[in-house]
Structure 1
Amino acid sequence: MNRSLVFVIIALLAAGAALFWKFEGNEASPGWQGYAEADYVKVGPTQQGTLVSLSVGRGDEIKEGDPLFAQDDTQDKAAMDQARQQLAQVKAQVANLQAGGKDTEIRQAEANLVDAIATRDRSQADLQRAETLLKSGNTTFQNVDQLRATAASAVAKVSVAQAALAQIKAPMGRPGEIEAEQAAVSAAEAALAQAQWRFDQRHVAAPVGGRVADTLALPGETIAAGAPVVSLLPSANIFVRFFVSEPDLAKLHRGDSVTIRCDNCPAGLMGTVSFVAPQPQYTPPIIYSEATRAKLVYLIEARPKPDQAMLLKPGQPVDVHPAGRAPGKAGSS
């Protein structure tokens, strides 16, 4: 066989194979490669203290508000009781300053007022009779003057008795003293609220629902303020990170939908692009050119719906495709 003909046949076969792998490879392209990631919620105490109980374990499914752990609250309970007693004390002081005299003192002052009124009425009646007798000449001016002085004195004694009764019924404290004690009540209430808050912080509940990813401390350990004790993984916090080359960057925008595939995952997993990196994750140490700019890789993040996100595990490899563009090989691998 002519050697040139052999070369032609080999060249045609090579070109056919190249075209086959080009189109077949495009159809079976895995898309953009990435992995599942998660934002963990790490829960710790607001105060330093000894961990006395842990209510959850790894893998537990919990709801918002479920108890997670507790610290020793002996000191905080004592401080709360002390603040409660101090509040009761200052409230009693305010009530004492606002209160009037004793019941027996009030009754005595009321009786004195009744006696003074009776004396005044009798003196005024005596004065009226004497003034009538004076007109007929049956009494003297001296006697009338004496009765007038007695009646005036009786009227004054009524005023004194009324003032004494009002004084006994009035608050014992001066307005300034009462105002100062009321301010002390407000301060004591604030101190009790603070003590109650510190006590409540010793018993930590889940701020969100989800899965317990890890427990980072054991009962008996002294935990610093802010140090994580339990790591939670809400399903809404699971997302996908994948990388696209510079030519594909213009195809994706925040809010776009993408299809997510992973090994043995159900079909139909979707995500919404939530982040597009403004800078490349990898820049080759060469001058940009038409031939080399495709080597730039950009980070993209997409978030599935919570009911689908829970099907992914952080670190799990995934393939991502634009929504509506199915991969060449249908089905889960």
Structure 2
Amino acid sequence: MTWFSDAVAAVALFLGLSGPPAGPVAHGYVEGEYLRIAAPVAATLDKLNVVRGRTVEAGAPLFALDRTMARAERDRLAAAVAQAKSQRADLTKGKRPEEIAVIAAQTAQTEASLHQTQAELHRQEVLVRRNVGAVERLEAARAARDRDVARLAELSAQLDTARLPARIDQIAAAEAALAMAEAALAQQERRLAEMAPMAPTAALVEDTLYNPGEWVPAGSPVVTLLPPERRKLVVFVPEPLVARVRPGQALPVSCDGCPAGLTAVVAFVAPRAEYTPPVIYSVGSREKLVFRIELAPDPSWSAAPGLPVDVGLPP
């Protein structure tokens, strides 16, 4: 029967079957914690950049919704930000140089008029003292001088005001309007990015749920990813053996077609017992009190979700 034993060994080597662990064995399966990538808005799917069953690198584009309207809204908000910046800058400045030049010219004109009215007032005062001038003309000259003095003071105040910025409250309102416009633009930029998401990590493309040209509702996943580090082993340990298992413990793993020497680290031990493990994995364990145990395998082991596994328990 040597030839038969050799044939069995050759078949086992060809299939890559690893022997069951020594001692008690817990049965279970590989489970995946999927990343379901969706967009926050509804739109037509424009591009699908991935293929189901292939892997993607971190930062790779996954899909893109039609962003025509979103880009137009982004451009509108960018223009609103530019407008708010211009308004704030305008309020921090005085009047235009041309307007200041007009006030300065009016000031010079009034100064010349004041010089003339002061001279006329002085002449009328001399005439009145000599009793050769009319008092009415003296009062008229004094009124003209006072008018020019007041006008000069007015223009001087206007010139100082023209060089000042707007009131503090107006500037604060303009800065608040600018901050609001910038926040709206940032929100729209984020929405544009979410309408064409990138892969958050290297992962397997487990499924694609829409084709280009189809309408995608808001929040509906378009691509399902499975990162290697989000695979886990779920096994069910009989109640008499659960005390042997503790988090952080490395246990041997075997499965059909898997290489020998695999191990996984216990990540979770259920605090409560259950009775029947799900579906076929309960064969040989029905009617028994079992505890759910989750283990973290090596991320380099690309085990497919649903694959039955056997985990060796400590003796």
Q: Say yes or no: TM over 0.5.
A: yes
Q: Counterparts in 2 of 1:7-156, with a 5 A limit?
A: 31-113=25-107
Q: Residues of 1 paired with 2:143 and 2:30: CA distance?
A: 106
SS of the aligned residue for 2:30 comes to strand
Q: Counterparts in 2 of 1:306-317, with a 5 A limit?
A: 306-307=299-300, 310-317=301-308
Q: Quick one: which of 178, 182, 192 aligns to 2:185? A: 192
Which amino acid counterpart does residue 206 of structure 2 have in structure 1? A
1:129 aligns with: none
1:233 aligns with: 226
| 1:166 equivalenced with 2:160 (yes/no) | yes
Which amino acid counterpart does residue 242 of structure 2 have in structure 1? L
User: Given the superposition, is the C-alpha separation of residues 177 and 161 from structure 1 closer, same or farther in structure 2, using an over 3 Å criterion?
Assistant: same
Q: Displacement of 1:119 after TM fit?
A: 8.4
Q: Quick one: which of 201, 204, 210 aligns to 1:211? A: 204
Q: Residues of 1 paired with 2:259 and 2:249: CA distance?
A: 21
| Bigger Rg, structure 1 or 2 | 1
Q: Quick one: which of 270, 288, 307 aligns to 2:263? A: 270
Which amino acid counterpart does residue 252 of structure 1 have in structure 2? V
- 8 A Cα contact 1:60 1:211, kept in partner: yes
- 8 A Cα contact 2:21 2:311, kept in partner: no
Q: Displacement of 1:102 after TM fit?
A: 2.9
SS of the aligned residue for 1:204 comes to coil
Q: Displacement of 1:237 after TM fit?
A: 0.8
Which amino acid counterpart does residue 264 of structure 2 have in structure 1? G
Q: Residues of 1 paired with 2:21 and 2:52: CA distance?
A: 42
Which amino acid counterpart does residue 216 of structure 1 have in structure 2? L
Q: Displacement of 1:267 after TM fit?
A: 2.6
Q: Displacement of 1:240 after TM fit?
A: 1.1
Where does the alignment leave 5 or more consecutive residues of structure 1 unmatched? 1-25, 126-141, 285-292, 326-333
2:274 aligns with: 281
Q: TM-score, normalised by structure 2?
A: 0.73
SS of the aligned residue for 1:205 comes to coil
Q: Displacement of 1:170 after TM fit?
A: 2.5
2:250 aligns with: 257
- 8 A Cα contact 2:275 2:287, kept in partner: no
Q: Displacement of 1:111 after TM fit?
A: 4.4
- 8 A Cα contact 1:35 1:241, kept in partner: yes
Q: Residues of 2 paired with 1:98 and 1:85: CA distance?
A: 20
Q: Displacement of 1:74 after TM fit?
A: 1.4
Where does the alignment leave 5 or more consecutive residues of structure 2 unmatched? 1-19, 120-134, 136-140, 278-285
Q: Displacement of 1:230 after TM fit?
A: 0.9
Q: Residues of 2 paired with 1:232 and 1:88: CA distance?
A: 40
Q: Displacement of 1:183 after TM fit?
A: 2.8
Q: How many residues align?
A: 287
Q: Residues of 2 paired with 1:42 and 1:219: CA distance?
A: 18
Q: Residues of 1 paired with 2:273 and 2:151: CA distance?
A: 100
Q: Percent of counterpart pairs with the same letter?
A: 40
Q: Residues of 2 paired with 1:201 and 1:80: CA distance?
A: 14
Which amino acid counterpart does residue 319 of structure 1 have in structure 2? D
- 8 A Cα contact 2:24 2:313, kept in partner: no
Q: Displacement of 1:104 after TM fit?
A: 2.3
